[in-house]
Amino acid sequence: MLKSKNLNRRFFMKGASATALIGSAIGGGLALPSAANARGLGNISMSMSYDLNEEFNRIGSGDAKWDGIRRRARPFDVPFPMGVADMDFRTLPHVTEALMRRMGHQNWGYQAAPADYYENIIAWNKKRYNQEVKPGSILNSHGVLDGCLSILKLHNTSGAPILVQTPGYSGFFGVVRNAQFTTVENPLKLIDGNWEMDLEAMASQIDENEVKVMLFCNPQNPTGNCWSPDIMRAMGDLCIEKGVLVVADEIHCDFINKGATYTPYATLGEKYAMSSYTLKSTSKSFNLAAQHVAYLFSDNMEMINNLKKSGHQRGSLNILGMIACNAAYKHGATYMDDMQAYMDGNCRLLEDFCSKSMRDIDYNVHEGTYLAFIDCSSVAKKLGKPEEGKRVGDMLQKFFIEKAGVNLNPGENYGTGGRGYMRMNLATTQHKLKGALAAMKMAIDNI
C-alpha cells in the first residue's frame, strides 16, 4: 500500500485535501485541484494549481546541482546553486505515484514501454505545438546527446567538422568530440541586445569545411532565442541547398515566456522535415534528467530506418524512466502551464532587479528556456584580470561562489561570444532567486 508520506503532496497541490490525496494514492487515481486559473500569467502565487513556492530541500540526495557544487566549493557554502540545468521543484505528483505503484510490484523482469507511451508523446506534441509526429518514426534514446551521437556517426561519414552556433549548448562540444569529429563555431551576432544568426558567415563556413551536419538548438541554450519561422526557413534553405543535415535539439520547447512563440523546425514545411531530425525529452520539462529517457523522430523514415540499422537500438530503456515520461505527458499539461508562468515571472523579477538595483549586470527577459544569459562584463572589469590560465568566466564564477554563495556557469563554456556572460538557472523558487540576487548585489557593491 502506498503511504501518503511517501508522496508528500499536501502543500504542493493547491486545493487538494490530504484526505483526497491519501485516497487517490491508495485507490490508484489522483485527485487534481481546480485548474481554472492555471494558464494565467498574472499573479503567479495565486493562479497556480501547483504550489511552486514550496521550499523543497534537495540537499543530501546526491544530486549534481546541490550536493555536487557544495563538495567542489568547500570550504565555501553555496546556498544558491544556479548552474546545472535542472529544477528545484517537487516533480509532478502523477509521476511519483506511477513510479511508486510500479516499485510496489517487487519483480524487475523484462518489461516493455507503457502501452500508450508513444501515443502520449504524439498527443503532447500535437496538442501543444500542432506538430504531427508520425507513428513509427519515434526512436528512444538515453538522452538528447545520446541521439545526437548516433546521428553524427551515421550521417558524417566524411569526418567533416560539425557546425554549432555559439554561444551554444556546451554539451554539443562534448558529443562532437565523442564522435571523434571537430567543431566549427558559427557565432551569433549581438545586435542591440539581441542574438541573431549570421547566415552569410554560415554559408562560407559550410563551404570551407565541407560541413554535412549542423547541431541546432531551438529554443536556444543559453541565449534563450525562440527562432522565428522566417529566420529558420532562411537557415534551412541554406542547409538544404548545401546538403547539410539539421539536427534540432528542442528539449527546452516547453519553457516559453509570455509574448514569445516556439515553432518546431520540422513544422516549417516538408523539405525541412525531410532533411532533419528533432530531439526532445521530458527531462527538462518535468525535471526527469536522472531517469535517462529521451526520444528523437523525423518525417524521413529512410533516415530513421538507417539509424536503427547503424546500431541505434533503444527499443527498451530504463522502465522507470519510461513510466515517468509517460505519466508526465499524460497528466502534466496543467503542471507545465503553471511552470511556464512561474518561469516567466522569475525572468521578469531578474530583469527588474538588474535594471533597478544591480546595474552592473545587464539582462532583458529572454524568450525561451529557464536559463538566463546575463552580461557580467562590468563586474569582470571591476575584478580586474583573471589569474594566469583562467578565463573571465572562471574568475566570475569564483567571485560569486566565494562572495555571494551563488554558483553560475561561465559564458565561455558555450563557445565564441560567451566571454563576460554567465548562465543563470532560474528554475527555483522566487524566495531563493531573491536571496541569490540580494547576495550578488551585496558582493558586487563590496568590490
Q: Quick count: other Cβ atoms within 10 Å of Cβ 262?
A: 18
Which grid cell is 386? 583573471
Whole-number pLDDT of residue 367? 98
pLDDT in tens, 162-180: 999 999 999 999 999 999 9
pLDDT over 60 at 8, yes or no: no
Whole-number pLDDT of residue 10? 43
Whole-number pLDDT of residue 201? 98
- What pairing do the DSSP bridges indicate for beta strands 421-425 and 194-196? unpaired
For residues 330-358, give the mean pLDDT: 97
Which residues pair with residue 424 across a beta bridge?
372
Which residues pair with residue 13 across a beta bridge?
50
pLDDT bracket for residue 248 (50, 70, 90) = very high
CA distance 394 to 380: 10
pLDDT in tens, 63-84: 899 888 889 989 999 999 999 9
Q: What 8-state DSSP symbol labels residue 233?
A: H
With both helix axes pointing from N to C terminus, report the angle between 333-356 and 430-445 in degrees, rounded to the nearest 10.
20
Domains of the chain, earliest start first = 4-54+89-109 (no CATH), 80-87+335-445 (3.90.1150.10), 117-331 (3.40.640.10)
154 versus 44: the higher-pLDDT residue is 154
For residues 195-219, give the mean pLDDT: 98
Element (H, E) at 428: none
pLDDT bracket for residue 49 (50, 70, 90) = confident
pLDDT bracket for residue 40 (50, 70, 90) = very low
Contact 313, 141 (CB under 8 A): no
Whole-number pLDDT of residue 12? 60
Collect all residues with Cβ–Cβ distance below 8 Å to 306 and sequence separation of at least 6. 154
Whole-number pLDDT of residue 16? 43
pLDDT bracket for residue 14 (50, 70, 90) = low
pLDDT over 90 at 404, yes or no: yes
| Chain mean pLDDT for the chain | 90
Phi-psi category of residue 136: left, alpha or beta, with phi > 0 → left and psi -120 to 50 → alpha: left
Whole-number pLDDT of residue 352? 98
pLDDT over 70 at 21, yes or no: no
pLDDT over 90 at 316, yes or no: no
Q: pTM of the full predicted structure?
A: 0.90
pLDDT in tens, 362-385: 999 999 999 999 999 999 999 999
Contact 10, 21 (CB under 8 A): yes
For residues 313-340, give the mean pLDDT: 95
Q: Using a pLDDT cut of 90, give the percent of the chain over it.
A: 84
